[in-house]
Amino acid sequence: MINLEGARYPWRFRVVLAALALMVAAISWRIIDLHVIDHDFLQAHGDARSVRHIPIPAHRGLITDRNGEPLAVSTPVTTLWANGKELSKAPERWADLARVLGQEPKGFAQRLQQSSEREFMYLVRGLTPEQGQAVLDLKVPGVYGIEEFRRFYPAGDVTAHVIGFTDVDDKGREGMELAFDEWLAGVPGKRQVLKDRRGRLIKDVQVSRNAKAGKTLALSIDLRLQYLAHRELRNALIENGAKAGSLVIVDVKTGEVLAMSNQPTYNPNNRRNLLPAAMRNRAMIDVFEPGSTVKPLSMSAALETGRWKPSNMVEVWPGSLQIGRYTIKDVSKTEGRVLDLTGILINSSNVGMSKVAFDIGGEAIHDLMAKLGFGQDTGLGFPGERVGNLPSHREWRQAETATLSYGYGVSVTAVQLAHAYATLANNGRAVPLSMTRVDNKPEGVQVLPEDVAKTMQGMLQQVVEAPRGVYRAQVPGYHVSGKSGTARKASVGTKGYTENAYRSLFAGFAPSGNPRFAMVVVIDEPSKAGYFGGLVSAPVFSKVMGGTLRLMNITPDNLPPALDPGAAGKTVAVSGQGGQR
């Protein structure tokens, strides 16, 4: 049969043939282009279906004390994960897998059934490499391992509040781990591998980017002093039936925090039964009215005005002072009707301190406290640190002036109080506090005249060494300076104070002749032998300061005079004659 249409319109046939020829030519050219010229295109698409990048975990930076002792280290661990779709095809292996993982078979099987459609699920994290390899050796379909790092804290609960901890993903969550997370965290690397469509590893191609380890962080903490503070603070809480406590040691020359201990504490290596209250770094977070420990600061403000000298006398009889409806009372009976300024500190006279404060005004005391850092951030950068409260008034009435002068109406942290005493000990020069090791001594700022600070150092030495002084704070072989304090605890949620709830305080520094270390001890709600700072906190100061001075090789400045050997022999002979009589 003859195709009349084709013969009638021959040009249409030719157009179709030309179009087909062009299509064949285009396809042929594209094939040649992809396989010879632009072969990267096919390779890229092939790689997209088979090439994968596996992250290489980065080693988190080491945290050490000032002497290089490790406080936080990273150890390699294995994390096991599973492809639920693959694992669901081998239910006969679930019991073996549960046994090796130490899990209850029935509950483990239910978990796998619920995740049977998921391509990724964690089985267990943080196994030792040996434990992880034992599971992988079972060769259960769909079970894989990832190399990770886990944080370990060699000092445990001793440094927990300072160091903090990391979460399961090795991110800082508390303490210095959080404050310096960017510094400590490394940069993960990448490894290029080939996998099939089921996600199984075919070939380890290359490391496309090396992991970069985190940087080392050297803290100002001295682990020896930290252990000493931890032990004595814990013993003090047990002996006094106290609720909590804090202790801070500061190097007065460099501003380094050498020890910071809190009770109760916790073990960052095992946080399964962790109570939130135990996580609080009370030295940084808890604010309190410092009571009589601020009287030396108020007295310094009086000396700075030039209106007062240590020998000036103040009448304190009869031990109370009426201001409108408000009565100021001395807790203990003083030595006499009148006291000099040192006697006011020794006897901790609220009446005497108030009368001095009335003369110089509340603003003078407020300004000095502000210079010493009250009501301000310490600059340590510690997560959750509080600044306390330093009240300011347009007009300072007598009641407000009096309460400020002997430590009420103002709230501070233990670290702020330690910084203030460190400034007194450093001849009135304030240096910034630091939680990291300081290699170059800072200049500091003169916030109190040097002669005033030195006068106050001598006065505080008498507070400890005078016959009516806080003798429990004395350190054998050394002159020490300090002041005790006892403050009622403010009630939570209501105005006023909680009945029979006190904080026992002691703040001081040593050795008095050339101060090196300042220390603050806070004991919260002692309930056994008493609650006065000179009774509860002063003995802790004595033990820890004594140990600190010896560990740091500070030369004693209060040793008894050496006896002449000849004189000693004569004395023995006379004594022997007396004994024969």
| Active site amino acids | 292
Give CA–CA dist 242/11, Å, rounded: 108
Rounded-to-5 percentages of helix, strand, coil across the chain: 40, 25, 35
Element (H, E) at 488: strand 481-490
Give CA–CA dist 559/555, Å, rounded: 10
DSSP state letters, 89-108: T-GGGHHHHHHHHT--HHHH
DSSP state letters, 43-63: HHHHHHHHEEEEEEPPPPPPE
Give CA–CA dist 290/484, Å, rounded: 10
| Beta strand 217-218 pairing with 63-64 | parallel
Inter-residue contact 368 to 301 (CB < 8 Å):
yes
CB atoms within 10 A of CB 258: 25
Taking the alpha carbons of 14, 20, 23, 28 in that order, is the dihedral positive or negative? negative
State the amino acid at position 288 in one-letter form: F
| Beta strand 70-82 pairing with 121-127 | antiparallel
Distance of alpha carbon 362 from its chain centroid, rounded? 34
Nearest residue to 290 via CA among 494, 581, 38, 484: 484
